[in-house]
Structure 1
Amino acid sequence: MAHVRNKKADDKKATVVAKEDKNKNETEGVIKLQTYLKTIPIAKKKFARLPKRKKSPTSAELLLIDPRYSASKEGPLGLGPIVLPFLQRFNNIDGFMTLYVAAVLIHGALFAVADMTLNIYQVQFSLSRTEWYLMDFSDYIASFIVAIIIAHFGSKGNRTRWVAASCILMGLESMLFAFPFFTYEIIIPGRQSIELCIEENEKRNIICGNSVPNRSKCIYFHIAGQCIHGIAGIPIYILGMTFIFDHIPTSSCGFYLAIGHSAYLMGYLLGIVGGLQNFQPPPKEKIIEIEPAKVYQLLQSGWWKTFLIIAAISFCVSFMMACFPTSLPGAHKLRLAKRKEPPTIDRRLKDMKIQPHLKGFLHNIWHILKNPLMLTQAICKVSEYLTFNASLYFLPHHLQTQFLITPGIASLLTGAFVLPGAIIGHFLGGLIVDRLEMTNKNKLKFTLVTTVVSVGLFLLIFFVECQTTTFAGINEDYDGYGQLGNLTADCNEYCDCTTSLYSSICGRDEKEYFSPCFAGCRATKVSQTEKTYYNCSCIKEGLATSDDEGQFIDAIAGTCDTNCLKLPLFFAFYFSATVFSNMCSIPVISIILQSVPANFTSLSLGLTYAIVKFVACVPAPLLFRMSSAIACIYWDINRCGGKERCWIYDKKILVYEFMGIWMSSQLIIVLLDIYAIQIHDVVVHGEITESKTTVKDVKAQKERKA
């Protein structure tokens, strides 16, 4: 028994020792674990100090963070499954802006070159008014028809793909414009009227426009190209603008919108500069080398080559533009930040959504049009377009009439001052709004001030005038041998002159003549870089000077010098007025975009462009032509019996028409801005937020703070 008891005691001791060893081991394990728990956070802190490479969260991660992110569709830069890592550095708003500016430049340049080819068609085909109107304004009509449709459906998809599709359309329309110049004979060599009074004038073959071969085909190709041009511009200027607005902070929208909007005018200017090169005659060596029947191909080669170059650039830009995703990285974060900004939209549109069916779509359009901020700024945009188009139309006629400048030089000076002035005005307006971070109400005040300044500068223009020169057949009757209003007199009736070529000359009698033919001049040559004319039967008075060969000069090319030194002052005032009148463009667009909810920006901008095209672009040229026709004194009536253009205008009537259209458009902007400033707080907040504080209230507030 004792042995058994001792054995049990030994077993108990062994069990106790084992338990103690186990507890000891557990205690040591806990101590080691505590040591690790202390050292791991310290190591974590040390590693946390190291610079970490930032990784963009995936769409799934962002979806877990915020369920609203499911509508964002951010993605990489690539074409379908083809995604190159080294190109992701361009997957931002700056990379998109580079391609967007290229697309806008192409669209503006293409518009300029198409306008220049229309002038060629006008000269060569003797277009009727209906044909000219359709060929010139079919792009505006097409853009008006599709503006709201593209704005509605394009906002639901990938807007960058819509812009890429526009670039493809621009390439196709360039090929349509190029095809007639590559295939048909349009520019006929020797078609220009002879400017001297010679017997060969009576033997000229009279070719009226309707008898020109392939005339109808050329007109159809041009109209088709213009329609595609109008359709291609809508995604660029509506969906592209809203895409930019959605990917930049509200405070920086002015700068980016200014760059995109100024690029169109810059492209138009570049198109004019490039197109003017095609008017230069080819070298005589090349003309001699080819057959006479193929000279037209040499004369037209510059035009179709220009269009094909534009087409190639358009296709390249389209391919790169299609690589951008629906939303750029960081768009969702920016969208959430914009929701926290002070309200700027019409409070009645706050919770509205775009309905999928037609009735809801029309209902949304009606509510947007009821937004007074959006509607007033849309009408301001119409007035801005009227002002700009009036400058381009009336200023050449005003320069020609007031300062006796030839039509070609007047058009060149108009483009040299109006287009750069508009570009600078657009950019400065956006830059000032961006740097000062203006609210919508301050933008309205800024627009009001710049418009008033432009009106003041424009009024100063019409105090600058010069003395009218004597013009034979217009305000002088050929020394009693002719009649006022008739360029033909006894001294030139046998010359069989044409009014289709306006090439004014100044005779030694200090009178201006419509052309050397109407002055009865029979010979010409270039003397000392100046074109001179001899044996002019209508020029009988004045001091005659001789050239280097001893022959007496009767007239020189160009208008007579009236010793008027006020032309630089005129352009200084007009350039300044143009800059200030265009400074309101970017603030107006930003107010339109900010006065509606984010899902309505494309539709509101589409409505704005539809209104502009319908009111300012389509009927305005007809209004300008009708008003200028009232002031016309002498028309160009071609040999086919049609009126082509007006050469000479009544000075006073033209000034009143120009001033009335320009100033009435600007005054509309002033009145609408005053109205928008008054109702802004009521529309946005529902009440007047700016309360009037008296001196007693200010003293009471200071006492409370003390």
Structure 2
Amino acid sequence: MSTTSSWDDSVKMSSNNAPNSAATTPSTGGTTVQTESTKCGGSYGAPSSPIALEEGGCPPIKVVAGDEEPALQRPPTPPPRAYHCGWFALRPKWMERFMTPKWALFWLCWAGAVQGLVVNGFINVVITTIERRFGLRSTQTGLVASGYDIASFLCLVPVSYFGGRLGASKPRWIGWGVAVMGLGAFVFALPHFLVGQYRATNSDQNVCTLATALVTNGTGASVEALTELVGCNHDTVSPLANGGQGPTSDSENLSWNVWFFFTAQLLLGAGASPLYTLGVTYIDENVSKKMSSVYLGIYYTMAVVGPAAGYVIGGQLLLFYTDMFVVDATTLGLTPHSKVWVGAWWIGFVFMAAFCLLLAVPILAYPPALPGSEKLQKVSEAHRGGDDGDGERSQETFTKIKQIPRALLALLRNPTFFFLNLAGASEGLVISGFAVFLPKLIENQFSVTAVWSALLMGIITVPAGGGGTFLGGYLVKKLHLSCSGIIKFCLFATIFAALFTVCFFLSCPNLTFAGVTAPYFPHENLDTPYARSTEPRDLYYLPKNLDNACNDRCACSRRNYEPICGADGIMYYSPCHAGCSEEINLENAKVYRDCTCINATFHGEQSALYGGGSYDAVNTMCQSRCDHLWIFVMLCFLVMFFTFLATMPALSATLRCVHDDQRSFALGIQWIKVRVLGTIPAPMIFGRLIDETCILWQESSCDDHGACLVYDNAFMSKYMLLLALVGKACSILFFFGAWFYYIPPKTITNGDTATHQKQTDTTTNQQKVPPNGHINPTGVEKY
């Protein structure tokens, strides 16, 4: 039988391998005719050799002529790899049932959820609380938030490179990383145990009593002189300002605790660095290409559900007083509605530290690869560069340090990968900045408590972030999008997200605050009138405006910040600054009488809310009359939904536009760019701009100030709108660049790679052996 007979009539595999055999003349009579092996893509050359195979050559091909039909000769299939699940020598047989992609995804989803719950949930919820507790500015808490990304930046290259090498155990890297995250969570809670009990003020009764004490004791010093001393020499004036009790523990500066928070974030960032590089590639390597987007969509959905759960759980924990095990908050007259309330911010971190240590145990038990992973074959959609020919590329494994520059250069010459990185950085800047400070924005703009603000963030994040992430991964699979189609999908999703950033146009006016945003009643005898200035805000309020004729004999300390709501609907810095001379403790509240700064017309109007009596003020926030909150929540929901709708497709595009052997390294490089250009500077930029909108600072010492007490809502809204629009505009530009410069491989003719592969296989089976005996195999690259 001639060697030109139909190739698809019969195919027979031979057990012999002859890599260096020469081509012979076809013959009949059952003799064996050997052909010179060729390289992939149909080019003819020297016989295949081990070196050629390493460089991407094809296995040798043997055609049997004569009475037998043509047969394809390939190397023998290597024996199946042994897979074990366990720790060191302990590998029980019953654990092998867990060596499936679904169980691996289960544990990785928990790891991603815990990381999001702690880093993007708990920490963002307690930012305002730790600012109040430790006297920190937004710039400082922005530095704390950036610590996570700084550690990720430092760890991503070594983790993604060494963890992604051939033979490296990705689960082992991930498991130890989760354990380090547990250590970081514990360090974040340490400041609570290192400082004394929280004191809302330096005085048990922050009322106007100093003038009476001076008259009784015959003190000849002027009240004005004592008032000047209060701001500086706390030890000298405390016996008078605190009713003779002397200095309190809270007179010390606690801002040094910022370095504990920063160190904790470094540990959290280092521990989480394998999750979204090695974790993603581990999932992708162990499932089919068709199911990869679904598995990754579930993984990233849990990573979004984690922060949402963190907002809800963390917000509920703030309902408990920070020292609840030693102090009953009701005896202090404090409630979560009090402006000086500090909730139990630290409890969640302690529990999550223990949970991370437990979670690391099953992850460390997994093998480097799951059974069946070597059988998976996928079609490459890598960007076709100048050196790639028809999209084919030799399968190189970068296993040496000296090969890093070459691997990096290959990625930098990929324009699609480059623009996707920039788009990720601009999106990361917006997401990271708002994740940290959006609760603060809601709390101050709409005059709600930290608990309610955290709950609203959870309401927004669960359906918008989780639903958008999962839907994005599902649509990539359902629509059979090519790499180019995925990038266009990301582009349009980002455009829609940018349209809904108009939510930051919504701004509520500041609450009326005596001496800060409004004058006292009566208006006369203000130390300094309100004045227009050249500051980047409409009004610049001087701290001296807190002093008025109605409280000038009280010598009130500005360090005793305890805002109260007067019957006239005006906020006052403290009962002392309101001129109140009597304090009454009720259940879950403090009320005040005889307040000389509150308009006498309204005296007693607060009594109906607190069981009768004639009360002038209560230690809660005044109610805001602004009704923009739910409109803001709905628009913010849409911004977040369309933002996260593009995250999973953008990741899929990144994985598809690079070669298989560079995926772990490419994800590491991408996350470095995202962090350096986006998530690291974002919290500091946002924090700095938010500090610029502060109009009243807490006084902590002569030369420094603590946390901001009152923000200018209008300018805070404008700054947030500016940051959102700039970030989204850059994302749109970069996604367009990624789509415009993408050059698909010539072997990829449509978006349905599974269909294309099937068509290619059919075409191959229908090929006929040419007269010269050579076989021209398909050029589709499989791996």
User: What's the TM-score bracket when you normalise by the shorter of the two chains?
Assistant: 0.7 to 0.9
Q: Could you say what secondary structure the match of 2:394 adopts?
A: coil
**Structure-1 separation of matches of 2:560 and 2:470:** 39
Q: Could you say what secondary structure the match of 1:633 adopts?
A: strand
- Report the equivalent of 2:109: 101
**Structure-2 separation of matches of 1:404 and 1:268:** 23
Q: CA deviation at 1:603?
A: 0.6
Alignment of 1:660-699 (within 5 A): 660-680=722-742, 682=743, 684-685=745-746
**Structure-1 separation of matches of 2:343 and 2:599:** 46
**Structure-2 separation of matches of 1:150 and 1:435:** 33
Which residue among 435, 439, 442 is the counterpart of 1:392?
Answer: 435
- Report the equivalent of 1:140: 149
- Report the equivalent of 2:705: 643
TM value normalised by structure 2 = 0.68
CA offset digits 1:106-137 (Å, max 9, x no partner) = 32334355667777765555458897666543
CA offset digits 1:467-514 (Å, max 9, x no partner) = 665432233221423343233322234445455676654433343334
**Structure-1 separation of matches of 2:427 and 2:442:** 22
CA offset digits 1:374-414 (Å, max 9, x no partner) = 12111221122222233235544544554344566545544
- Report the equivalent of 2:394: 351
Q: CA deviation at 1:442?
A: 1.8
RMSD of the alignment, in Å? 4.0
Note if 1:159 corresponds to 2:144. no
Which amino acid is the alignment partner of residue 140 of structure 1? D
| Residue pair 1:390, 1:661 contacting (<8 A) in 2 also | no
**Structure-1 separation of matches of 2:569 and 2:128:** 33
- Report the equivalent of 2:416: 373
Q: Label 1:644 to 1:154 Cα distance change in 2 as closer, same or farther (>3 A).
A: same
Q: CA deviation at 1:441?
A: 1.7
Give unpaired runs (5+ residues) of structure 1. 1-64, 289-299, 691-706
Q: CA deviation at 1:420?
A: 5.4
Q: Could you say what secondary structure the match of 2:568 adopts?
A: coil
TM value normalised by structure 1 = 0.75
- Report the equivalent of 2:763: none
| Residue pair 1:118, 1:136 contacting (<8 A) in 2 also | no
Q: CA deviation at 1:243?
A: 0.6
- Report the equivalent of 2:359: 317
Alignment of 1:6-17 (within 5 A): none
Q: Label 1:529 to 1:229 Cα distance change in 2 as closer, same or farther (>3 A).
A: closer
- Report the equivalent of 1:458: 501
Alignment of 1:433-444 (within 5 A): 433-444=476-487
| Residue pair 1:392, 1:418 contacting (<8 A) in 2 also | no
| Residue pair 1:384, 1:585 contacting (<8 A) in 2 also | no
Q: CA deviation at 1:629?
A: 3.2
- Report the equivalent of 2:566: 507
| Residue pair 1:239, 1:602 contacting (<8 A) in 2 also | yes
Give unpaired runs (5+ residues) of structure 2. 1-72, 211-239, 329-341, 531-540, 752-783
Which residue among 229, 244, 250 is the counterpart of 2:283?
Answer: 244
Note if 1:471 corresponds to 2:481. no
**Structure-1 separation of matches of 2:576 and 2:343:** 32
Q: Label 1:447 to 1:195 Cα distance change in 2 as closer, same or farther (>3 A).
A: farther
Greater relative contact order (Cα < 8 A, sep 6+)? 2
Note if 1:491 corresponds to 2:538. no
Q: CA deviation at 1:524?
A: 4.8
| Residue pair 2:161, 2:664 contacting (<8 A) in 1 also | yes
| Residue pair 2:320, 2:343 contacting (<8 A) in 1 also | no
Q: Label 1:146 to 1:473 Cα distance change in 2 as closer, same or farther (>3 A).
A: same
User: Which stretch of structure 1 is more off in the superposition, 648-657 or 244-253?
Assistant: 648-657
**Structure-1 separation of matches of 2:127 and 2:624:** 34
Q: Could you say what secondary structure the match of 2:707 adopts?
A: strand
Q: CA deviation at 1:612?
A: 1.8
Q: Label 1:370 to 1:390 Cα distance change in 2 as closer, same or farther (>3 A).
A: same
Which amino acid is the alignment partner of residue 392 of structure 1? A
Q: Could you say what secondary structure the match of 1:231 adopts?
A: helix
**Structure-2 separation of matches of 1:114 and 1:168:** 18
| Residue pair 1:511, 1:560 contacting (<8 A) in 2 also | yes
Which residue among 261, 270, 273 is the counterpart of 1:231?
Answer: 270
**Structure-2 separation of matches of 1:567 and 1:280:** 25
Note if 1:277 corresponds to 2:317. yes
CA offset digits 1:424-467 (Å, max 9, x no partner) = 322232233233332222222221222121222222552x4556
**Structure-1 separation of matches of 2:614 and 2:712:** 34
Note if 1:425 corresponds to 2:465. no
| Residue pair 1:193, 1:498 contacting (<8 A) in 2 also | no
Q: Taking every aligned residue pair, what percent have the same amino acid on both sides?
A: 23
Q: Could you say what secondary structure the match of 1:647 adopts?
A: strand
Q: Label 1:309 to 1:455 Cα distance change in 2 as closer, same or farther (>3 A).
A: closer
**Structure-2 separation of matches of 1:180 and 1:68:** 62
Q: Label 1:442 to 1:526 Cα distance change in 2 as closer, same or farther (>3 A).
A: farther
Q: CA deviation at 1:365?
A: 0.9
Alignment of 1:482-561 (within 5 A): 482=526, 483-484=529-530, 485=541, 486-497=545-556, 504-525=563-584, 532-545=591-604, 547=607, 551-561=613-623
| Greater helix proportion | 1
CA offset digits 1:342-395 (Å, max 9, x no partner) = 634444463362444444211211221221121211122112222223323554
Q: Label 1:271 to 1:640 Cα distance change in 2 as closer, same or farther (>3 A).
A: farther
Which residue among 585, 592, 596 is the counterpart of 2:647?
Answer: 585
| Residue pair 2:510, 2:712 contacting (<8 A) in 1 also | no
**Structure-1 separation of matches of 2:322 and 2:716:** 39
Question: Aligned pair count?
Answer: 607
Which amino acid is the alignment partner of residue 629 of structure 1? D
Q: Label 1:360 to 1:259 Cα distance change in 2 as closer, same or farther (>3 A).
A: same
Alignment of 1:40-119 (within 5 A): 73=81, 75-80=83-88, 82-111=90-119, 112-113=121-122
Q: Label 1:675 to 1:189 Cα distance change in 2 as closer, same or farther (>3 A).
A: closer
Q: CA deviation at 1:550?
A: 5.4
| Residue pair 1:76, 1:88 contacting (<8 A) in 2 also | yes
Q: Could you say what secondary structure the match of 1:535 adopts?
A: strand
Q: Label 1:570 to 1:354 Cα distance change in 2 as closer, same or farther (>3 A).
A: same
Q: Could you say what secondary structure the match of 2:275 adopts?
A: helix
Q: Could you say what secondary structure the match of 2:598 adopts?
A: coil
| Residue pair 2:317, 2:343 contacting (<8 A) in 1 also | no
- Report the equivalent of 1:19: none
CA offset digits 1:268-301 (Å, max 9, x no partner) = 344455555376248999669xxxxxxxxxxx99
- Report the equivalent of 1:447: 490
**Structure-1 separation of matches of 2:584 and 2:449:** 20
- Report the equivalent of 1:35: none
Q: Label 1:67 to 1:543 Cα distance change in 2 as closer, same or farther (>3 A).
A: farther
